[in-house]
Structure 1
């Protein structure tokens, strides 16, 4: 029953340019409500081929089953905004995961595997389809917010900082803490596909709601950048991954994000134009990323000291 709180939205009317205005209006209402309350929803008929999703998951599982020395052939290159290539979570992290970071195929940052042979091409195709899905969802959010046509697209036109993760979470044992720290994403929009093991949970109304995986569904969550731009109108989604006991978890996550030098602050449409005070001070996106990364590499002893978007909140006292 809990999973029913995560709405599922059919995007086909927008992909096929259908003229069903009532259907489109209903979709926009559902997205607006989901983003206002807790920042999570799921989509179907999103334009990402289902056979591609299935093949990508199969190849990812094959890759992560290789010996460590084979995976290390894709060690990160220097110069990327994040360490592209094969990585592992730090030893002190409760996440117990390994992952492959990929940037746009033409970025020059990627170190992608040649084994299994299809993996590189499939990853690049996945990246392209996820990018188009991100653009579509961004356009719907633009409409839901009542912003001028293409406002977010023009503000966030540089796709060079988008990236995708292929993830493998190790199985939890009976005796260890199998959860990850709850968090929000710092970017604009995140798209997630998880395998049958599930594990993704969303925080809503004081409860953790499991997002049950279903073939063909993509999970969408709103990130901190959208929350700041909308001055808290749309919420960044608090979520976590609980590693299943006795079995691994595989997933893909695509981060539709901002270029690092982009200035982020509440838009006038949600502040002075409606008589509201700004709830956040502005920042360069790359500065926030650096703070978050530093916080992860040097864990805080108190949960309240972990860097989150509240770091930029303006006190009302």
Structure 2
């Protein structure tokens, strides 16, 4: 199976066909390639180059921005520093969120206050912050344009999903390096659904990404000039399962792999409503949720459930009072 390709500029040039194709893809396959997205290719290549420069630093220099220093789960994680589906992910990464000032909080504060804060930037590569922020703005714009297309394809107002996106949205990005396989584990990142609304993935030359479609693992190789798009859990919740967040994973291979993942988030102080999508709702089979890993409609709770499972060391250091609350049998 080959994944479909959409051109984002067709949202303006040939809107009826674009929306028809989009609705078909996102209600069935859930994964697709996007071209003509408006993200400058030279800027993306520069961000890849700077991330490689960071990953080539000695470990002690990379650990200067270790996530253990961040209550907001920002910063560097080494291979095996994150867990997915109960097992270690063999990749290293920098987690970056929306750049904001930290809020003062205590155990009685609203939960979302704990997630607002600054990123950790490597002093050895000062250019990384400026290049990332430029890239982030372009990627954000492309994602928000696609979010309007999602709404319009479901016969909603263009700005319907923008009720979820706003002043304290939890946007999230990962700069990623997957090593060449040298252990018995092939898990670059285990099978999972993404959080947020929409995910954009930029890939370089090496394959490894796979999507679970109709019960079969389908390879999603790099395709020049594209980003890979998939749906986040919050759009699945907001459409009561009409839009499916597709399970996916990354397997290690004989060569190292670099990628960049951007997750368009939701306002941290929101609960996810169910949008009225009219007759389309009859085609929905409901939200696909696992009792051991439930999808929670409260945004901050859902993020903490994910982060506590993914980064137990950071949770223990900064949020030990929440560990039992967000542990599910």
Aligned residue among 259, 263, 266 for 1:258: 266
Structure 1 runs not aligned, ≥5 long? 299-310, 312-317
Query: Which residue in 1 is equivalent to 2:76?
Result: 86
Query: What displacement does 1:270 show?
Result: 5.4
Partner deviation per Cα, 1:39-87 (whole Å, 9 max, x = no partner): 111111111001111111111111101101111222345442xx11112
Partner deviation per Cα, 1:96-150 (whole Å, 9 max, x = no partner): 1111111223455111123234222111111111111110110110101111231
> Alpha carbons of 1:203 and 1:87: their partners in 2 closer, same or farther (altered >3 Å)?
same
- Whole-Å separation in 1 of the counterparts to 2:274 and 2:303: 18
- Whole-Å separation in 2 of the counterparts to 1:129 and 1:208: 31
Query: What displacement does 1:188 show?
Result: 0.9
- Match of 1:101, SS state, is strand
Query: Which residue in 1 is equivalent to 2:93?
Result: 99
Note the 1:31-42 alignment, pairs <5 A.
31-42=22-33
Note the 1:19-98 alignment, pairs <5 A.
20=13, 23-76=14-67, 77-80=69-72, 83-88=73-78, 89-90=80-81, 93-98=87-92
How many equivalent pairs are there?
A: 286
Partner deviation per Cα, 1:158-185 (whole Å, 9 max, x = no partner): 3541011101112112x51213321111
Aligned residue among 144, 147, 162 for 2:153: 144
Query: Which residue in 1 is equivalent to 2:303?
Result: 289
> Alpha carbons of 1:201 and 1:139: their partners in 2 closer, same or farther (altered >3 Å)?
same
- Match of 1:62, SS state, is helix
- Whole-Å separation in 1 of the counterparts to 2:168 and 2:29: 26
- Match of 1:86, SS state, is strand
- Match of 1:137, SS state, is helix
Cα RMSD of the aligned pairs, angstroms, is 2.7
Q: Judge conservation of contact 1:34–1:40 (CA < 8 Å) in 2.
A: yes
Query: Which residue in 2 is equivalent to 1:304?
Result: none
Aligned residue among 225, 237, 245 for 2:234: 225
> Alpha carbons of 1:282 and 1:47: their partners in 2 closer, same or farther (altered >3 Å)?
same
- Whole-Å separation in 2 of the counterparts to 1:94 and 1:242: 12
- Match of 2:89, SS state, is coil
> Alpha carbons of 1:190 and 1:201: their partners in 2 closer, same or farther (altered >3 Å)?
same
Aligned: 1:249 with 2:257: yes
Query: Which residue in 1 is equivalent to 2:141?
Result: 132
Which has the higher mean CA deviation after the structures are superposed, 158-167 or 198-207? 158-167
Aligned residue among 199, 202, 214 for 1:190: 199
- Whole-Å separation in 2 of the counterparts to 1:274 and 1:195: 40
- Whole-Å separation in 2 of the counterparts to 1:130 and 1:68: 30
Partner deviation per Cα, 1:252-279 (whole Å, 9 max, x = no partner): 01110112221014224459x9799976
- Whole-Å separation in 1 of the counterparts to 2:143 and 2:98: 14
| TM-score normalised per structure 1 | 0.81
Query: Which residue in 1 is equivalent to 2:105?
Result: none
Structure 2 runs not aligned, ≥5 long? 102-116, 290-294, 313-327
| TM-score normalised per structure 2 | 0.79
- Whole-Å separation in 1 of the counterparts to 2:240 and 2:311: 29
